[in-house]
Chain A
Amino acid sequence: MTHLQMSGLGKAFGGVRALDSFDLDIAAGEFVSLLGPSGCGKTTALRIVAGFESADRGRVVIDGQDVTRLTPDRRDIGMVFQAYSLFPNMSAAGNVEFGMRLRGVAPRRRRDRAGELLDLVGLAAHGGKYPHQLSGGQQQRVALARALAIEPKILLLDEPLSALDAKVRVNLRGEIRRIQKDLGITTLFVTHDQEEALAISDRVGVMSEGRMEQLDVPATVYREPATPFVAQFVGVTNALLGSIEGSHVVVDGSRVPIQEARSYRQGAKVRLLVRPEEVHLAEADGNEMSAHSAKILATVLTNSFLGPVSRVTVRLDTGEGQLVLADMPSPEGGGFAPGQQVLVELRLRRPMLVER
């Protein structure tokens, strides 16, 4: 069981800052995902840990040993790439055996171990096949087995599922997690798919422009985003246009009381970040309007059934006609039909404002 520390990592390519004072501490046996939009530096962080890229600043420490200057072949790190990384001239078993071959493991022992690993990833019957005879999902399974074959201290995966079909992707991520737990291997997993990150990680690190925005367990990252960036990147979020008026944000004529509004300048233009589950819809009967100023009149556009909730899209009747998504619990939510007038109420748990 291995402890991985990255501290103060910095890396620039020409003028582009790929990583900027990047810190990440992964406990032994922990599964951490790096999540962020394309180009935010996830791959760079991973490649610095693997040793394929050298950091301009900062250190990588594995189990107390500083490996920052060590070449990749001396780090004992298993790496799974995005796609097409299997050696095309070797069978699946040959690929899995390769690392052991380099380490001088006896052929017999090598074959047995490769068999076990192929079994572990559910490909026991496919050892003799060459990569081009395997599906994309099977290739990634073999790549995982190959990385694990050297019993690495740390497992790194760089968007290993992004080239696969949705269904295969969901299956395989579950298996990756199962195997990781079985072996108790310290794992860093890179993805731009938030659902993937939230589904399989012990902790998720959300990145933006080379920096760590938030690092926490999935539920906290989702429910209590630390920054507006995280709020907008993770989960579905409404960003309602509004302006500051004292301790209120005015959205299309309706005043929403928000403490934080005080720290903004009067009249400042802001976006109010609201999760669909914080939006409550009620049937409009024409009377309660003026009395409840925090409610906004709107018209239903679409309603889609998502299982536990119905996601209702409404257009605000006043102002610029902004679209708002609302998740209403299923039996009740199913009742809203396109064209119907409703009252939108914001039941904010964690109001978050961004200046625009």
Chain B
Amino acid sequence: MAASNPVKGGRGGRRDRRARLGPAGHYLALAPFLVFVSVFLLYPTVVVVMGAFQDNGGHPTLSNLRAVTGSVYADAFVRSIELSAVTALVGAVLGALLSWAIAAAKPEGLVRRLVLAGCGVLAQFGGVTLAFAFIATVGVTGLATNLLRELFAIEPPRGGAWLFDMPGLMVVYTYFQIPLMVLVFLPAVEGLRPQWHEAVQSLGGSTWRYWRHVGGPVLSPAFLGATLLLFANAFSAYGTAAALVSQGSPIVPLQIRAFMTSEVITGQQNLGKALGLGMIVVVALFMGLYALLQRRTARWLR
């Protein structure tokens, strides 16, 4: 790369040094990132995909895949997708409404700053801490549960055990989906220009017409993208579910845990890898679907 730049005496300024890097230099600058991606993304993916097609002896086989498409595992996939889709949709809708309220608030106001800071924290609030917060509040002997029992003699469903199954997972997941939605969607809402609404009005249209023909269509690509992110976020979440659910493995990440840690089922780690492959396929399918929708909703972006 240095060869492409003949030495110019006395002009070795900053410009020259950058020019000397050349195109190869730009790739060199990317090297740390590429190494990172290779070690923590590509390599594990290859291991998972290869493992899914091998038996314990390392011989090629389809039996792992056949096994995980069986009923128990298929159910886990259905529940995982259900959980992710429901919490992504509920989180997206509520988060979008919250974003809209924040965007309408005074730009430098206290409310707005507090809500934004809160979202930043809560979107990352997961795993054992979040599970504990819910158990301590609405669990079997949680604070709110006890108050309801003693003050109003109301008994929560299944004595509060609902929290440790699918309904509980949905509520707890939604709790971190909403603030995540605000973080990724707010910039799009703030990108709506007030003069678009005013232009619609002066042309004789109502506020409803504005949302129907301008605001909605302009936001929809960002909304779709954010909803997909929420889906992936829930689909791949493990810590919160692991801390909350100790009996059974209703969703795929917990099934994989069972294969990796169980003392009962030994020598079947490759089944876990087959489940991992299944997750990769599901996410890829959703990405494909997203790309198609994006094409249709955002023709004007290209």
Which listed residue (B199, B203, B206, B218) contacts A81, Cβ 8 A?
B199
A266 proximal to B (CB < 8 A)? no
Q: A-B pairs with the 4 shortest C-beta distances?
A: A99-B203, A85-B195, A79-B202, A72-B201
Min Cβ gap B10→A in Å is 38
CA distance A344 to B235 in the complex (A): 84
**Interface size class, chain B:** 10 to 19
Choice from B203, B217, B218 contacting A102 with Cβ under 8 Å? B203
Interface of A is mostly: loop
Residue of B with least CB distance to A91: B300
Within A28-87, the residues touching B (CB, 8 Å) are: 50-52, 71-79, 81-82, 84-85, 87
Complex partner residue of B202 from A77, A87, A88, CB under 8 angstroms: A77
In the complex, A349 Cα to B295 Cα: how many Å? Answer: 68
Q: Is the CB of A98 within 8 A of B203?
A: yes
- A interface size (C-beta, 8 A): 30
On chain A, the residues within 8 Å of B202 by CB distance are 50, 72-73, 75, 77-79, 147
Contact B198 A52 (CB under 8 A): yes
A73 contacts B206, C-beta separation under 8 Å: yes
Bound Cα distance A103, B209 (Å)? 12
Whether B13 sits at the interface, judged by CB under 8 Å, is no
B residues in contact (CB < 8 Å) with A: 193, 195-196, 198-206, 209, 213-214, 217-218, 300
Known: A87-B214, A90-B300, A98-B213. A146 touches B196 (CB 8 A): no
Report B-chain residues with C-beta under 8 Å of the C-beta of A87.
Answer: 196, 199, 213-214, 218
Least distance between B111 CB and chain A CB atoms (Å)? 19
Tell me the smallest distance from the CB of A296 to a CB of chain B, in Å: 52
Q: How far is the CA of A50 from the CA of B201 in the complex (A)?
A: 10
Q: Give the complex CA separation of A74 and B218 in angstroms.
A: 25
Contact residue among B199, B206, B300 (Cβ-Cβ distance under 8 Å from A130): B300
State whether the Cβ of A89 lies closer than 8 Å to any Cβ in chain B. Answer: yes
Question: Can you report 23 A-B residue pairs in the complex whose CB atoms are below 8 A from each other?
Answer: A73-B202, A73-B203, A73-B204, A74-B204, A76-B204, A77-B202, A78-B202, A79-B198, A79-B199, A81-B195, A81-B198, A82-B195, A84-B195, A85-B199, A87-B196, A87-B199, A87-B213, A102-B204, A103-B204, A130-B300, A146-B199, A146-B203, A150-B203
CB contacts (< 8 Å) of B193 on chain A: these are 84-85
Contact yes or no, B204 A89, CB < 8 A: no
Expressed in whole angstroms, the Cα–Cα distance for A91 and B301 within the complex equals 11
- Kindly list chain A residues whose C-beta atoms are within 8 Å of the C-beta of B217: 89
Contact residues, A88-109 vs B (CB, 8 A):
88-91, 98-99, 102-103
Give the chain A neighbours of B198 by CB distance below 8 A. 50, 52, 72, 79, 81, 85
Q: Which of A73, A84, A89 contacts B300 (CB 8 A)?
A: A89
